[in-house]
Amino acid sequence: MVDKGSSTFKMENGKEGGSSDAKLIGIWFVSEWMANGKPNKFQLVELGPGRGSLTSDILRVFNQLGSLLSKCDISVHLVEISPTLSEIQASVLIEEKTELQESCFAYMQGVTKSGLPIFWYRDLNDVPVVMNNFEIVGYNFYLAHEFLDALPIHKFQKTEKGWRELLIDIDSEAPGKLQFVLAPAATPAAEAFIHAKESRDHVEVCPDAGVIIQKLAHDIEKNGGAALIIDYGHDGTKTDTFRGFRGHKLHDVLVSPGTADLTADVDFSYLRRMAQERVATLGPIKQQDFLRNMGIDIRMQVLLQNANDAVNRNQLLRSYEMLMDLDRMGGRFNFFAMLPHNRLSSSDQVTKQSTSASVAGFGELEWK
């Protein structure tokens, strides 16, 4: 197991900052809320909110759409393991915080700058479902943005003797150095995590991501809602993606452990398998397609028309390129959604293409 030390995450991952368009992500949740029949209550649950800037931008969208959401009781629930980052999130999102007793599920709470109740948890299992007098009266909308790629992975190599786990050992020829070694025999992880139909010869598996997806799938199947997972990843095609970043530069993962941010691309085919058909899954689709479907080009035109000088316009164009270019975030970042089956099955005759078209981002956005 390669533990990527996520709890000491330092936001120094060498990746491009502001990697998605937060406004359009906020609109995606509002669009799903509308498609879910505008329930009176929903909880925005973000896993691994980093510095809290994405949450803050999404809440700004909710605020701007106040007339639409005015009758909806919204609360915010952040799952964050790092005490340092939760402090940073609190400073961005709230005026005043309350630390809670160890006996409470949440460890901190407050009120956001736009007046919504907000809670912090160490574990996803601590986040409540939306209940009123023991009745489920709303949904959880889950968001995981650059979260799953920070969780620990197992690495496996196909050999003539079968699948072997890659472990980390001390390099006996170079004291103080670490090296990858193949386990001499099949480990329980190799037996548990390699899919029978696996065709690659090197695989990375993130069981923690699998457990999280199972939990989300279970909740969405039972109670409704939606999950949007946005991350570096592939659909079961890539092999060795584990890498480190330090000081915004690539860094050997085996050198000076604990000093670099470690990441591995998310295998969305594994996530889909872990959802076990409890829910409908859409994607992964590239960020370029998602944002185009969400209307980024129209948004860009409006922003350019309103930009009052060349510096502003150039900055907008540079941000657009960073978000949309296939060699940058447009191609590297993927969007994957989990929805209740009934959200997509209005007609038994619908094709897969027409069902995904009814979900914003996965088809063209339609406001009804």
Ligand X SMILES: C[S@@+](CC[C@H](N)C(=O)[O-])C[C@H]1O[C@@H](n2cnc3c(N)ncnc32)[C@H](O)[C@@H]1O
| Chain residues in the site for ligand X (CB under 6 A) | 6-7, 9, 48-50, 54, 79-82, 85, 145-147, 150
d(CA 23, CA 41): 21
Cα–Cα separations (whole angstroms), residue 137 to 59, 140, 217: 21, 10, 18
Q: Are strands 94-99 and 202-205 parallel, antiparallel or unpaired?
A: unpaired
Nearest to ligand X of 139, 147 (CB atom)? 147
- The widest CA-to-CA distance across the chain, in whole angstroms, is 68
Nearest to ligand X of 126, 198 (CB atom)? 126
Nearest to ligand X of 120, 163 (CB atom)? 120
Residues of 329-350 as b/e, b for ≥16 C-beta within 10 angstroms?
bbebbbbbbbbbeebbeeeeee
Q: Token pair 């502001």 is at which residue?
A: 18
Shortest approach of ligand X to residue 294 CB, angstroms?
17
Shortest approach of ligand X to residue 146 CB, angstroms?
4
Provide the residue type at 222 as one letter: K
Nearest to ligand X of 25, 344 (CB atom)? 25
Nearest to ligand X of 94, 194 (CB atom)? 94
Shortest approach of ligand X to residue 213 CB, angstroms?
14
Q: Are 193 and 152 in contact (CB under 8 A)?
A: no
d(CA 39, CA 18): 30
Other C-beta atoms lying within 10 Å of the C-beta of residue 123: 9
Q: Which of 138, 141, 143 is nearest to 37 (CA)?
A: 138
Nearest to ligand X of 146, 221 (CB atom)? 146
Q: Token pair 């695989």 is at which residue?
A: 203
Q: Are 122 and 84 in contact (CB under 8 A)?
A: no
Shortest approach of ligand X to residue 54 CB, angstroms?
5
Q: Where are the beta strands (DSSP E) in 53-176?
A: 73-79, 94-99, 108-112, 117-121, 131-132, 135-136, 139-145, 154-159, 162-170
Q: Where are the beta strands (DSSP E) in 171-205?
A: 178-182, 202-205
Shortest approach of ligand X to residue 239 CB, angstroms?
22
Residue 310, SS3?
helix
Q: Which of 54, 231, 75 is nearest to 140 (CA)?
A: 75
Nearest to ligand X of 48, 283 (CB atom)? 48
Q: Token pair 């936001």 is at which residue?
A: 11
Shortest approach of ligand X to residue 296 CB, angstroms?
18
Shortest approach of ligand X to residue 81 CB, angstroms?
4
Shortest approach of ligand X to residue 88 CB, angstroms?
9
Shortest approach of ligand X to residue 39 CB, angstroms?
25
Nearest to ligand X of 45, 194 (CB atom)? 45
Nearest to ligand X of 10, 202 (CB atom)? 10
